[in-house]
């Protein structure tokens, strides 16, 4: 049971790295809290559901479609909302209120459009039967979702550390005003990062029916809570710390389910409190400041 | 003028005057207050119940209203319904609002034990009879609280009796000796787990519980839990959860290629159409479940037959987002009980209403089965038999009733292939 918990927790954690990645990227670049992050994930899930049911599009292809669509959607949304928000005295607090409102609107509209019930995509679409790894067997849909999450994380890493736009993005993350002073088009960089953040949420949503069993228009709140735990564990503002945070969360959840299952829903809060007491900057907090 | 004539005249005047006074006192409408969850964790069970109740209300209003005995005539029904969004704190506020601001005549709870739990003390404090539709948590019903009646589902402490009876009576002959129980920790499934555990232990049968764990109701991943259950090597697995739990559980079983010899799930039967869309027919094959009132044709002596109700549902809601099923029958049954009660009650006093609803116990037979209450107001009729979902040979599925034997339509397939 121990080996299985570690392995399953690792794969689940990798997925939750992807879930939290977009939220952390947006916070890191803009210092705003996108409380509608979970709702964009939900929209990605419903996009995959409808693409599969109406056109038979495989979720792997749907992930690419969702990425492009939500990245494009994010740019005008950024210009409509964020620059004005950043002019406020306390943009972080205001962003919480604003995106909470957006979250409620998205959930309400999705409920009207799709109904309140659970939706899912058959697991066999991502491969039939379990896959054996290190003597343990995991659903193939989990493995595919885990690998896809790994690819998305790698994409973000390459974007941040191997592209010119990524360098500029990191510069904005370190100090927005200094980046502006050096001539960087901060809004352009931020808009692209915002789009990528939304797109990552949407990709995570595409794989949600496989990792979470089903999706409803109301999953956003739970997703947000878990995402916050993941990014705070890793380090708020450090997208790559999210990977570590996700894995810590995934393995911890697997252990909780094995040894203390009734209390498993307390895990995000316990981890949040624990990390804030012991290491408030997160496990990779120091690296953020020296980036 | 004969004395007989005078007596008749006086009596006629009295009757007419009395009727006039009653008509003057009669409300112009009967206010039914309720909550529903259009979103959130309980939307999938709340909306069918609410839609079933609304169907009944619309039907009665189309017929000119509901006959209310104290008024001596038909009165239109006014539905006052608020959306609690599956949130218990919101629900508590809205239940209070229904009683104190809207001053409803009849208070109907939202569906399910979680959203009903907050209504129980509020209704009691305000001395309002809570028409509990499907909140089956056993701790809602106590001898010192006359302000609650459970209408449409059996109380959770007896609901799984046939499941446990099958496992302890027929199980050992089939080779079932080790049972695993996994349940969501809420009033509904927590009580059912307690009941199954109790029935098995009290039976004295050679059946051992080898795994018994609760999980939070919002659990969405069962892969690790399933591995742990497998490690306990059970002959039978009883999974007790809400629809979101059952969907994730059954999908994880299917995706993980796991084969349990005997597997029970609540909502495979209660919301079959919904689970067919989310889990798929393959994932439901050979699963044991409650055979719901939407599958068994109970002889209805009041209200529509099952087919008539299904047709009315399809006509009203069509291919909408709310599925027909056990819960839609439950909402409609609530309406039928109210209809019968208001037609016989002497007043709209809450304890008088309770008295007439108790008077229906054992006598009212609807498409939900026989309505029967115990002394605390808990529903002890309408118990769903144990069935097994099997392939119908046409890429679909069908129900086979397994237990109790007197209503069985087939034999269990054990172990599941």
pLDDT digits (tens, 9 = 90+) for B276-332: 999 999 999 999 999 988 788 888 899 999 999 999 999 998 866 688 888 999 999
Name the pLDDT band for B4 (thresholds 50, 70, 90).
low
Kindly state the tokens that stand for A240. Answer: 């790559």
3-state secondary structure of B74: strand
CA dihedral B89, B94, B96, B99 (to 10 degrees): -160
Residues of A in contact with B185 (CB under 8 A): 262
Tell me the C-alpha distance between B101 and B111, whole Å: 22
Which among A174, A171, A173 has a CA at the least distance from the CA of A182? A171
Q: What residues contact residue B18 under an 8 Å CB cut-off, 6+ apart? A: none
Rounded mean pLDDT of chain A? 90
Residues of B in contact with A141 (CB under 8 A): 255
The architecture of the domain spanning B161-295+384-407 is 3-Layer(aba) Sandwich (3.40)
3-state secondary structure of A184: coil
| Chain A contact present for B294, CB below 8 A | no
Which among A51, A53, A45 has a CA at the least distance from the CA of A15? A45
Q: What is the 3-state secondary structure (H, E, C) of A265-283?
A: HHHHHHHHHHHHHHCCCCC
**What is the DSSP pairing of strand B130-132 with strand B148-150?**
parallel
Minimum distance, in Å, between the CA of residue B322 and any CA atom of chain A: 7
Q: Is the dihedral of CA A211, A214, A217, A218 positive or negative?
A: negative
Q: Which runs of consecutive H residues, i.e. helices, occur in B88-170? A: 88-100, 113-117, 119-125, 161-165
**What is the DSSP pairing of strand B77-83 with strand B106-108?**
unpaired
Comparing CB atoms, the residue among B41, B225, B248 nearest residue A212 is: B248
The 10 Å Cβ neighbour count of residue A255 is 18
- Residue A171 phi/psi, 5° resolution? -65, -40
Model pLDDT, residue B365:
94
CB B402 within 8 A of CB B408: yes
Checking if the pLDDT of A289 tops 50, the result is: no
Residues of B in contact with A257 (CB under 8 A): 215, 221, 224-225, 228
The DSSP call for residue B28 is S
Residues of B in contact with A111 (CB under 8 A): 38-39, 43
Model pLDDT, residue B260:
97
CB B189 within 8 A of CB B242: yes
Model pLDDT, residue A288:
46
Q: What is the ipTM of this complex?
A: 0.87
**A216:B244 CB<8 A:** yes
Paired residues of B108 in beta bridges? B34, B131
**B255:A5 CB<8 A:** no
- Supply the Cα-derived Rg of chain B in whole angstroms: 23
Q: Which CATH number fits domain B11-155+296-370: 3.30.2130.10, 2.40.50.140, 3.40.50.2300, 3.90.1210.10?
A: 3.40.50.2300
CB B244 within 8 A of CB B274: no
pLDDT digits (tens, 9 = 90+) for B138-178: 899 999 999 999 999 999 999 999 999 999 999 999 999 99
pLDDT digits (tens, 9 = 90+) for A156-183: 999 999 999 999 999 999 888 899 999 9
Checking if the pLDDT of B6 tops 60, the result is: no
Paired residues of B390 in beta bridges? B398
| Chain A contact present for B279, CB below 8 A | yes
Kindly state the tokens that stand for B108. Answer: 């109907």
Checking if the pLDDT of B411 tops 80, the result is: yes
Find the closest chain B residue to A119 by CA distance.
Answer: B278
Model pLDDT, residue B111:
94
Name the pLDDT band for B24 (thresholds 50, 70, 90).
very low
Tell me the C-alpha distance between A38 and A17, whole Å: 14
Model pLDDT, residue B224:
94
CB A139 within 8 A of CB A123: yes
Find the closest chain B residue to A218 by CA distance.
Answer: B40
Which among B346, B335, B332, B343 has a CA at the least distance from the CA of B67? B343
- CB pairs below 8 Å between A and B: how many? 137
- Residue A155 phi/psi, 5° resolution? -60, -45
Buried-state track A87-108, b at ≥16 Cβ within 10 A, e below 16: eeeebeebbeebbeebbbebbe
> What CATH number should be reported for the domain whose range is A2-115+138-289?
1.10.3470
Q: Which of A133-142, A180-189, B187-196 has the lowest mean pLDDT?
A: A133-142
Strand residues in A59-170 grouped as ranges (E):
130-133, 136-139
Comparing CB atoms, the residue among A8, A120, A263 nearest residue B223 is: A8
Residues of A in contact with B243 (CB under 8 A): 117-118
**A213:B247 CB<8 A:** yes
- Residue B181 phi/psi, 5° resolution? -125, 125
Kindly state the tokens that stand for B347. Answer: 């007043």
Kindly state the tokens that stand for B17. Answer: 């005057």
pLDDT digits (tens, 9 = 90+) for B218-276: 898 999 999 999 999 999 999 999 999 999 999 999 999 999 999 999 999 988 988 99
User: If you count DSSP H runs as helices and E runs as strands, how many of each does chain A have, helices first?
Assistant: 12, 2
Which among B134, B160, B159, B166 has a CA at the least distance from the CA of B149? B134
The 10 Å Cβ neighbour count of residue B261 is 17
Instruction: Indicate the burial class of A207 (C-beta count within 10 angstroms; 0-12, 13-18, 19 or more).
Output: buried
Q: Which of A67-81, A236-250, B169-183 has the lowest mean pLDDT?
A: A236-250
Find the closest chain B residue to A53 by CA distance.
Answer: B277
């Amino acid at each position: 049971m121990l080996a299985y918990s570690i392995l399953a927790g690792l794969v689940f954690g990798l997925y939750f790295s992807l879930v939290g990645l977009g939220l952390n990227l947006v916070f890191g670049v803009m210092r705003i809290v996108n409380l509608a992050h979970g709702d964009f994930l939900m929209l990605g899930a419903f996009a995959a559901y409808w693409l599969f049911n109406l056109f038979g599009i495989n979720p792997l292809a749907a992930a690419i479609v969702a990425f492009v669509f939500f990245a494009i959607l994010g740019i005008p949304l950024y210009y409509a909302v964020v620059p004005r928000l950043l002019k406020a005295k306390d943009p972080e607090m205001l962003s919480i209120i604003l995106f909470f409102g957006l979250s409620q609107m998205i959930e309400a509209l999705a409920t009207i459009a799709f109904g309140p019930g659970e939706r899912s995509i058959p697991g066999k679409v991502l491969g039939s039967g379990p896959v054996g790894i290190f003597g343990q067997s995991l659903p193939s849909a989990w493995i595919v979702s885990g690998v896809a999450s790994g690819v998305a994380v790698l994409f973000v890493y390459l974007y941040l550390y191997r592209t010119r736009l990524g360098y500029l993005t990191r510069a904005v993350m370190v100090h927005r005003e200094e980046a502006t002073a050096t001539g960087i088009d901060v809004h352009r960089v931020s808009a692209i990062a915002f789009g990528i953040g939304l797109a990552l949420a949407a990709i995570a949503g595409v794989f949600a029916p496989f990792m979470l069993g089903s999706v409803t228009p109301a999953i956003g709140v739970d997703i947000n809570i878990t995402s916050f735990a993941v990014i705070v564990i890793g380090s708020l503002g450090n997208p790559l710390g999210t990977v570590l945070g996700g894995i810590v969360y995934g393995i911890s959840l697997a252990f909780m389910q094995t040894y203390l299952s009734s209390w498993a829903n307390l895990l995000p809060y316990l981890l949040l409190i624990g990390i804030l007491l012991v290491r408030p900057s997160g496990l990779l907090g120091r690296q953020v400041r020296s980036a | 003028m004969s004395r007989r004539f005078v007596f008749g005249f006086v009596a006629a005047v009295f009757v007419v005057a009395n009727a006039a006074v009653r008509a003057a006192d009669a409300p112009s409408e009967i206010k039914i207050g309720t909550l529903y969850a259009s979103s959130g964790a309980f939307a999938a069970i709340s909306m069918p119940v609410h839609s079933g109740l609304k169907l009944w209300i619309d039907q009665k209003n189309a017929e000119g209203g509901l006959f209310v005995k104290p008024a001596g005539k038909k009165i239109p029904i006014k539905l006052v319904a608020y959306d609690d969004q599956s949130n218990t704190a919101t629900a508590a506020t809205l239940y209070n609002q229904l009683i104190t601001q809207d001053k409803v005549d009849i208070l109907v709870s939202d569906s399910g034990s979680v959203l009903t739990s907050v209504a129980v003390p509020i209704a009691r404090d305000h001395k309002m009879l809570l028409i509990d539709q499907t909140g089956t948590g056993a701790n809602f019903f106590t001898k010192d609280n006359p302000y609650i009646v459970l209408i449409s589902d059996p109380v959770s402490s007896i609901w799984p009796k046939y499941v446990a009876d099958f496992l302890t009576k027929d199980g050992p002959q089939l080779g079932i000796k080790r049972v695993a129980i996994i349940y969501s920790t809420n009033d509904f499934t927590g009580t059912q787990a307690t009941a199954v555990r109790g029935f098995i232990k009290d039976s004295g049968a050679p059946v051992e519980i080898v795994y018994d764990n609760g999980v939070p109701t919002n659990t969405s991943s069962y892969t690790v839990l399933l591995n742990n259950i497998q490690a306990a090597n059970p002959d039978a697995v009883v999974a007790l959860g809400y629809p979101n739990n059952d969907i994730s559980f059954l999908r994880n079983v299917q995706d993980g290629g796991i084969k349990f010899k005997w597997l029970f799930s609540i909502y495979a039967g209660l919301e079959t159409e919904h689970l067919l869309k989310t889990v798929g027919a393959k994932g439901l094959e050979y699963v044991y479940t409650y055979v719901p009132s939407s599958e068994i044709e109970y002889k209805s002596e009041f209200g529509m037959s099952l087919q008539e109700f299904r047709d009315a549902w399809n006509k009203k809601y069509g291919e909408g987002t709310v599925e027909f099923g056990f819960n839609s029958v439950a909402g409609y049954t609530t309406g039928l009980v109210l209809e019968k009660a208001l037609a016989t009650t002497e007043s709209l006093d809450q304890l008088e209403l309770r008295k007439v609803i108790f008077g229906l116990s054992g006598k009212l037979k609807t498409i939900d089965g026989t309505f029967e209450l115990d002394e605390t107001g808990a529903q002890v009729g309408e118990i769903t038999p144990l069935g097994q979902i099997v392939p119908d040979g046409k890429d679909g599925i069908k129900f086979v009733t397994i237990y109790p034997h007197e209503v069985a339509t087939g034999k269990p397939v054990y172990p599941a292939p």
